[in-house]
Amino acid sequence: MKRGFRYRFYPSEVQAAELSRTFGCVRKVYNLALQARAEAWTLRGERVGYGATSALLTAWKRTEELAFLAEVSSVPLQQALRHLQTGFTNFFAKRARFPRFKSRKKSRASAEYTRSAFRWRDGALTLAKMAEPLDIRWSRPLPAGAVPSTVTVSRDSAGRWFVSLLCDDPAVRPLPATDAVVGVDVGLDHLLVLSTGEKIGNPRHERRDRERLVKVQRALCRKQKGSSNRARARVAVARVHARIADRRSDFLHKITTRLVRENQTLVIEDLAVSNMVSNRKLARAITDAGWRQFRRQLGYKAKWYGRQVIVVDRWFPSSKLCSVCGALVARMPLHVRTWTCGCGATHDRDVNGARNILAAGLAVSVCGADVGPQRNPPGGRSAAKQKPRGASRGSLLVHEEEEVNCGTTRLRRRRAPACWLPR
């Protein structure tokens, strides 16, 4: 399986200048091609593909205005056109929005080199148009005998340089099957609560560095716009944010790897994070928790190691449902962390929610429903969760859907709530 290995490197002044020119040319070609394709469709109703934009690139290099495009390697420019083609393909398949223009200040500065544009010899990487290899800090070894097929060079907002090597990794293979299953409920007080009763604390990385972040942000606001001092202050702010993001990513990688290795089936809840951050009181805490990054890591690692991730619908009343008798509580405010059901069972709100999430996910394997995306024509058998006592039938009917991109299985309600109906 292909896997990317990312390392930090320190370019010389000549290499940094060459890469900066390449980043600018990649951005310019991408924007020109996007404009040409959009105008061709809007004005003339013509579809322009990758082949036509590649011919346009050759013509652009011959003009006096864009002659500088010929000074850098042509491979990253061609790769930019391929990425644009992928963006349009995803747009027409309704998997993504319409491609947007790249910004010099906001977009990610990167360039992708294929096998013909770099030399890999004795562990040294030399890119096209460069005489010396990159000074890479090998924080971890590459797989034995691995030869990169694609190299991606990038620079983040903090001024750090990274190189990502795409190689075949024989270590990524399915793990031995196990009978362990777990339900996971995400939160803010505790980052994760498992159906086993285990609670994983929330490190709150942004809160720990908030004083430092406030200090550098205030210094940035005092600098005159367009000055060199403001540019240096902006980099100082970016470094603090990068430190926070790195610590958060490292923590989530350790947690997701452990969960995937220990469990065969993992059941999580489908949360609309983009909608939840509209709450001004909780937006900072939700963003700092990294729920979306947790789900993304869990998805692709489960696909790597032969595990199953089941996603329960966001409207499933996991917190208000008694995991013992199945009684549904009408109202459960957020400040209620412990409650007692009419059957006499006392529940921790988060642990009870994780157990209900697990029960809803296991209903799929019990009922043996066919797996198929919702957009496909009907015909498969739907999986209906067994109706617990005191719960409404319409709120618990679910069916299984496979998410091909991240290797997860999604559970959706068959009966839409009132807020989904057209007005």
Q: 204-237: per-residue pLDDT in tens?
A: 999 999 999 999 999 999 999 989 999 999 999 9
Contacts of 70 (CB under 8 A, 6+ apart): 61
- Same domain for 108 and 144, yes or no, is yes
Q: Does residue 229 lie in a domain region?
A: no
- Do 282 and 406 lie in a common domain? yes
**Is residue 279 included in any domain, yes or no?**
yes
Q: Per-residue pLDDT averaged across 35-46, rounded?
A: 90
Tell whether 7 and 125 lie within a shared domain: yes
**Beta-bridge partner residues of 81:** none
The predicted structure's pLDDT at residue 339: 81
Question: Which of the listed residues 168, 193, 213 is the one where a domain comes to its end?
Answer: 168
Give me the mean pLDDT over the 248-259 stretch.
95
pLDDT of 422: 37
> Domain residues for 148?
2-168
* Confidence (pLDDT) at 397: 34
Which carries the bigger pLDDT value, residue 98 or residue 406?
A: 98
Residue 366 pLDDT greater than 70, yes or no:
no
Indicate whether 136 belongs to any domain. yes
Residue 25 has pLDDT above 60, yes or no: yes
Say if residue 371's pLDDT is above 60.
no
Q: Which residue has the higher pLDDT, 192 or 333?
A: 192
Tell me, yes or no, whether 123 and 191 share the same domain: no
**What is the number of other CB atoms lying within 10 angstroms of the CB of residue 69?**
22
Q: How far apart are CA 187 and CA 352, in angstroms?
A: 13
Among 188-202, 221-235, 263-277, 329-343, the minimum mean pLDDT is found in: 329-343
Q: Tell me the residue ranges of DSSP E strands in 59-189.
A: 109-114, 118-121, 124-127, 136-137, 150-155, 161-168, 181-186
Q: How many other C-beta atoms are found inside a 10 Å radius of the C-beta of residue 295? A: 22
CB 225 within 8 A of CB 233: no
Residues 323 and 272 both lie in one domain: yes
3-class secondary-structure state, position 343: coil
Across the beta sheet with 265-269, the strand order is 199-201, 190-194, 181-186, 265-269, 308-312, 408-413, 398-403
Task: Decide which of 314 and 190 is more confident.
Answer: 190
Q: Note the pLDDT of residue 14.
A: 95
390 band by pLDDT with thresholds 50, 70 and 90: very low
Mean pLDDT computed over 1-9: 93
pLDDT value of residue 365: 63
Whether residue 148 sits in one domain with residue 192: no
Q: Determine, yes or no, domain membership for 175.
A: no
Given a cut of 90, whether residue 273 has pLDDT beyond it is no
On the question of pLDDT at 414 being above 50, the answer is: no
Q: How many Å apart are CA 124 and CA 85, to the nearest integer? A: 32
190 and 331 fall within a common domain:
yes
Enumerate residues 6+ apart whose C-beta is below 8 A from 334: none
Segment 402-423 mean pLDDT: 39
pTM to 2 decimal places: 0.80
Pair 191, 125 in one domain: no
Asked whether residue 224 is domain-assigned, the answer is no
Residue 216: its H or E element: helix 210-221
Catalytic residue IDs: 185, 269, 350
Q: Within a domain: residue 11? A: yes
Q: What is the pLDDT of residue 241?
A: 95
Is residue 234 in a domain?
A: no
Q: Are residues 192 and 160 in the same domain?
A: no
Average pLDDT, the chain: 84
- Same domain? For 252 and 141 the reply is no
Split at pLDDT 50, 70, 90, the class of 392 is very low
Do 117 and 198 fall within a single domain?
no
Residue 373: what pLDDT?
A: 32
Return the minimum-mean-pLDDT range out of 232-246, 295-309, 343-357: 343-357
pLDDT number for residue 364: 66
Domain count, the chain: 2
Residue 312 belongs to a domain: yes
Same domain for 9 and 147 = yes
Q: At residue 106, does pLDDT exceed 70?
A: yes
